[in-house]
Amino acid sequence: MLENGESSATRLLSTNGVQQVPNPKIELFQLRGFLEPELCAELIALIEANRRPSTIADANGDAYFRTSETCDLDPANPSVRELEARLVALNGIDPAFGEPCQGQRYDVGQEFKPHTDYFAPGGEDYVKYCSVAGQRSWTFMIYLNEVEAGGATRFKVVGKTFQPETGKLVCWNNRRPDGSVNPNTLHHGMKVRKGIKYVITKWYREKEWGW
Ligand SMILES: O=C(O)CCC(=O)C(=O)O
Ligand SMILES: [Fe+2]
């Protein structure tokens, strides 16, 4: 187990199939087939059964900034426990540093406009969201299905776009090597044009979550 909500390139690349985006501005990885289709289908069913409008920290006045729906996944559910076990095996992050897993559902026309997952230092909500658990360290995201059209995740600064693919994981470090937040992680969950998009998001913190 690594310390303080940290994963590392070395740890991630020790799993067969993990690929790192070759760009010094960001630590960004993908792993195809991280979850098998059966587990993805179970997680989709959970998201369908229990969802609410998604929210954002540091509200910016744009009511259409994040138009998806969110599911707070029950940590006691067997499929969610399996998901958590897969994550720790891959990333070596002590689960105590993780926020609870969420599912996100995007219908046609829904998106999450360009944003970073870290809380803006000095921003209004920084104290509110970071005083206990600290800043977000790593993001792990898993696509649960193939979308008929649209719904890619675009990292504009580094020029990398990921297409949704059943069971594919994408993960990145939200900070630079010196520990400061990395604006090059800016990413856009682009509009779904046809079909419905389902993803899992898992965020880790620099301190124990403990809520
Ligand atoms: O849905 C996506 O492609 C991106 C989701 C995302 O960035 C987030 O939930 O923070
Ligand atoms: Fe994000």
Give the count of beta carbons closer than 10 Å to the beta carbon of residue 23: 14
In a domain, 171, yes or no: yes
Ligand 1 centre distance from Cα of residue 187 (Å): 8
Q: Identity (one letter) of the amino acid at 56?
A: I
Rounded to two decimals, the pTM is 0.95
> Dihedral (C-alpha) 187, 160, 39, 91: value to the nearest 10 degrees?
-80
User: Does the complex come out with an ipTM higher than 0.95?
Assistant: yes
Ligand 1 centre distance from Cα of residue 121 (Å): 20
In a domain, 142, yes or no: yes
What digits encode the pLDDT tens for the residues 193-208?
Answer: 999 999 999 999 999 9
Specify the pLDDT at position 127. 85
**Total tally of structural domains belonging to the chain:** 1
Range of the domain at 165: 9-205
What confidence tier does 14 reach under pLDDT thresholds 50, 70, 90?
Answer: very high
Is a pLDDT exceeding 90 seen at residue 98? yes
In a domain, 211, yes or no: no
- Find the mean pLDDT for residues 42-59: 91
Pull the structure tokens for residue 171: 């993960």
In a domain, 92, yes or no: yes
In a domain, 210, yes or no: no
Residue 17's nearest CA partner among 93, 90, 94 is 90
Angle, alpha carbons 16-22-28 (nearest 5°)? 65
Alpha helices in the chain (DSSP H): 9-13, 37-49, 78-91, 126-130
What digits encode the pLDDT tens for the residues 166-175?
Answer: 999 999 999 9
What digits encode the pLDDT tens for the residues 176-194?
Answer: 999 999 999 999 999 999 9
Q: In this structure, which residue's CA is closest to atom 5 in ligand 1?
A: 189
Is a pLDDT exceeding 90 seen at residue 32? yes
In a domain, 1, yes or no: no
Specify the pLDDT at position 2. 76
Q: Round the average pLDDT of the chain to a whole number and report it.
A: 94
Residues in contact with ligand 1 by the CB-under-6-Å rule are 104, 112, 117, 153, 187, 189, 199, 201
The CATH number assigned to the domain holding 49 equals 2.60.120.620
Specify the pLDDT at position 177. 92
Pull the structure tokens for residue 143: 């696509």
Is a pLDDT exceeding 70 seen at residue 211? no
- Ligand 1 atom nearest the C-alpha of 190 is 3
Q: In this structure, which residue's CA is closest to atom 8 in ligand 1?
A: 201
